[in-house]
Copies of this chain bind each other. A is one copy, B any other.
Amino acid sequence: MRQTKQRRIILEVLRGTVHHPSADEVYHQVRQCIPNISLGTVYRNLERLVQDKVIRKIVNTQGQGRFDANIIPHGHFRCVKCHLVEDLPFEVTFTAIPENSSWYRAREICEVHYEVTGICPVCKSKSQLAPP
C-alpha cells in the first residue's frame, strides 16, 4: 500500500475524532488540509483501510456507513432519531462462538458487531416537550 498524503490525512482525521463519522463527514474535514480532494478518494481509501483492518466500518440499518479508527472490539449505541453513534461506556461480553463446532469450522469468521439502538438523551428530552 503506497503512502499518499490523501490516505495519511484521512486516517489522521478519523483518528482525531470519537464521533464515528460518515465518508462525507471525513471528506469535509480532510478538505481543510487538501481543498481539492475528491469524495471518491475518501470513499476508496476508507474502504481500503477497512479491508486492511486498519479501521472498521460500523453496521447500521438506516443511512450511511460510518467509520471507526478504534479497532479494539467494542459495542455501539445508535440514536434512531438523530443518527448519533457512540461507544458503549461499559464492557460487553458474549457467549463465545463454539470454535470446535462444525458450524464454526465451515466458515471463516471476520468480525463481531454489537449494537444497541434507542433514543439518545438529547432526542429524549426533546420528545418530552411534545409539540401540539
Chain A residues with a Cβ under 8 A of chain B: 57-62, 65, 77, 80, 89-95, 97-98, 101, 103, 106-121, 124
Contacts and interface: CB of A to CB of B under 8 A. Distances in A.
A107 B80 contact: no
Contacts of A58: 61
Contacts of A109: 116-118
B107 A118 contact: yes
- Sorted nearest first, the 7 A-B pairs with minimum C-beta distance are A59-B59, A108-B119, A109-B118, A106-B121, A113-B115, A110-B118, A111-B117
Contacts of A57: 61
Majority-rule SS of A interface residues? mixed
Contacts of A95: 90-93
A88 B65 CA distance: 24
Contact of A115 (B91, B92, B101, B112): B112
Contacts of A97: 90, 116
